[in-house]
A and B are shown apart, each in its own frame.
Chain A
């Protein structure tokens, strides 16, 4: 492992208690497991925590959106079209699917510095709410 690659505990201590310019504050907790995960909770947005993992190839920052079953009947095709269309204009994040769970995520190089990761978390949290707001017509 290279000396300047980030670890989850580093990230946790950087994020914990951090307050953004918009007045959002973060709390972060490392969840141990085969692959440790950092769970980041954003104040006033506790319903949409952000998960971070680090491996050899990238830093993944993920937030969960909705499940397949939450899509209004008949709206799935339009929703998928909207997701693909939004993917590029949406800054720094992209949509994806894990099983029946729709997610929004960002991926960073392992060499990214703390500032970049914090920015990513901040933007991802905003994008999560933006996405839900603008796609609410397709959801029940």
Chain B
């Protein structure tokens, strides 16, 4: 597909010359005109086809009528001969000749009309094909152009951003470092919270008398006394 190749070349070239149109607007206008012309041609051809087909049907009917008349009169002629009426038979034969002479040009006309119908159908098919491919080309060019404009716009926006200054890997490393820092901070905060929670709980338990409230002279003396009493 030549248009695809053309677009490809244009897109590659445009990488260095951003903003340059892929196909100049003149070419696009010509293609639009081609589409318009082809559509008109198609409409005319279709109208022509309808007319010729109607004419062909009329001729076919006439051919059929004449052929039937000839067959019919041939029958009459045979009957006249059977009756020995030579004079009538000749008269009928002359009528048949008249019909035959009328039939011949009708047949020629019909052949011509059949040919015309076929030709017109062929033309319509080709025009439709051409129209389709031109429309496809125009759509492709237009969408490539608008994509390219979008790309140029994005490139312009991006070149103004800070990320344009550093490599992708550096940026990635920065993101990772930030993520690490964030998760370190979160872990530290969590650990601190846990410690805080623990201390709190111990204090509460001691206050409730569930755990020992620490050693004192009195408590140690009590223990020693108890041991002594046990030994005695």
Question: Of A47, A48, A53, which contacts B150 at CB under 8 A?
Answer: A53
Report the Cα distance A1→B168, complex, angstroms.
38
Chain B residues within 8 Å of A127, by CB: none
A83 to B: closest C-beta gap in Å = 14
A133 and B146 in contact (CB under 8 A), knowing A33-B156, A34-B153? Answer: no
| Residues 11-69 (chain A) with a chain B CB within 8 angstroms | 31, 33-37, 39, 44-49, 51, 53, 55-58, 60, 62, 64-67
Chain B residues within 8 Å of A129, by CB: 172, 175
Contact B154 A62 (CB under 8 A): yes
Report the Cα distance A139→B162, complex, angstroms.
20
B163 CB-CB contact with A under 8 Å: yes
A46 and B156 in contact (CB under 8 A), knowing A57-B143, A66-B169? Answer: no
Chain B residues within 8 Å of A47, by CB: 162-163, 166, 171-172, 174-175
Contact A34 B15 (CB under 8 A): no
Proximity bits, B140-169, A CB within 8 Å = 1, else 0: 001100110111111111100111101111
Report the Cα distance A139→B169, complex, angstroms.
7
A99 CB-CB contact with B under 8 Å: yes
Tally of A-B residue pairs with Cβ under 8 A? 101
Report the Cα distance A101→B159, complex, angstroms.
11
Report the Cα distance A60→B166, complex, angstroms.
24
Chain A residue nearest to B168 (CB atoms) is A66
Question: Of B18, B147, B163, B169, which contacts A70 at CB under 8 A?
Answer: B169
Chain A residues within 8 Å of B179, by CB: 44
Contact B155 A60 (CB under 8 A): no
Proximity bits, A120-140, B CB within 8 Å = 1, else 0: 000000000100110010011
Contact A57 B146 (CB under 8 A): yes
Report the Cα distance A33→B152, complex, angstroms.
10
| B→A interface (CB under 8 Å) | 15-16, 18, 142-143, 146-147, 149-158, 161-164, 166-169, 171-172, 174-175, 178-179, 182
